[in-house]
Amino acid sequence: MSEVYENLIGGRWIGPTGDRRFERKNPADVTETIGTFPALGSEDADDIVDAALGGLAEWRTMKVLDRGRVLLQTAALLRERLDEIARDLTREMGKTLAEATAETSAAAAFFEYNGGLARAPEGDVLPDRRDDALVWTRREPIGVVVLITPWNDPLATPARKLGPALICGNSVVLKPASYTALSALHLARALHDAGLPPGVVNTATGSGSTIGAALASARGVAGVSFTGSNEVGAQLQGRAAGSSLRLQTELGGKNAALVLRDADLDVAIDAITSAAWGQTGQRCTSTSRVIVEEPLMDEVVDRLVKRAESLRVGSGLDPRVEMGPLVSAEQLDQVLAAVAEGRAQGAEVLFGGERLVDEDHRDGHFMAPTIMSTADPQNVAWVEELFGPVLTVRSASTPEEGVEFVNQSRYGLSAAVFTTDLRRAFAFTRDIEAGQISINLPTAGWDVHVPFGGFKESGSAFREQGVEGLGFYSRTKSIAMYGG
């Protein structure tokens, strides 16, 4: 019998009722059940939002220093429980234990950073043309916010949203992805144990199309922060249109790395390898396209193939493993179908492209790291975010053409250039249409205090992380007082 988990709602832990539950299997070994979780429905949305409204009344009036102490204590509890949380994250999502440990530490850092912002200035004193008038601003919470988070970073992404939402004084309903509900419940338990008042953070496990959609349109919700697919993001934009609902979206990416002829190839290959196949390519900032200036094309491809051949694929709990499974059978099937479609459209598979079915991999959703080549800008492997361990390469005749190829995407999340020419490097930062730019570094991996977000169809204008991350979760009030 697998463990039955409960949602935190209104300060109480509430389990599934009747058959309203779902199970989660280990993607590295589907014979292992991780646990059973409540499958909430649309009829539960109003009650959960009411619980959040109840928590809001106390939390928003609490001194910001006291709110900060709760976040700092949450960070400490996550660090105390790091081994247990990281292991559960690996078991339910599939990433390696090293990746899960780093993510748990990052989640703690998000709470630590935002807890520290309790001592930052809350507003400004402004000049006024009137005699004896004092004018100042203050930051206030917007109210109840719904956080809809993905399965690929099930600790870091919720923590990235929870930290600023809570320090600003909002109450929260967290709707995690069903594949990784346990990680979100670890965060909720740490917040609860750190002394968070009842109703300030509530969790809602279940289908995104039912409980998630109902929460996003529930009465009393002031804002929705969503990380996930462009399709769901568009649906949320449609619901928010014409209303006062705030919407923050972090959507897809088709991130490119440009390798120029003067690049240090040892640095470039290390960075591309880690960004393409780390976390099995299931990161919004993964490198999925590589453009190589022509004189280096053969050498770069040869080196990447050798790296792909050497990667050890298996259960993330094995410390020798460098790449785990995909999160689900559905995700594996989608990626394999996209590879097949890309091949049918003329792309060449240089390595991989198939499911691993030998004895060591038969019970999991494993795929070989994959390298494809195409010069067709319409090929699905070049255009679409596959969200798997697939890297597509092509050559460019000049650095300028390489920049053109990098921008050849409807997305604009992250991009990297590898060069020893400072002039080229700075030109790249100016010319690339992306929110995150790396020079001789991977496209993935951004610290908690660095503003994060993309351009074009990669998301909304609201940034996450850093001081800019407070903007979505707060509103500014201007105050004038006669002091004569």
Q: Which of 112, 284, 322, 457 is catalytic?
A: 284
Q: Which of 99, 112, 250, 464 is catalytic?
A: 250
Give the integer Cα–Cα distance in Å for 284 and 215.
24
Active site residue 250: yes
Give the integer Cα–Cα distance in Å for 49 and 147.
12
Give the integer Cα–Cα distance in Å for 73 and 196.
10
Give the integer Cα–Cα distance in Å for 25 and 11.
28
Active site residue 294: no
Q: Are 285 and 255 in contact (CB under 8 A)?
A: yes
> End-to-end alpha-carbon separation of the chain, Å?
73
As annotated, the active-site residues are 250, 284
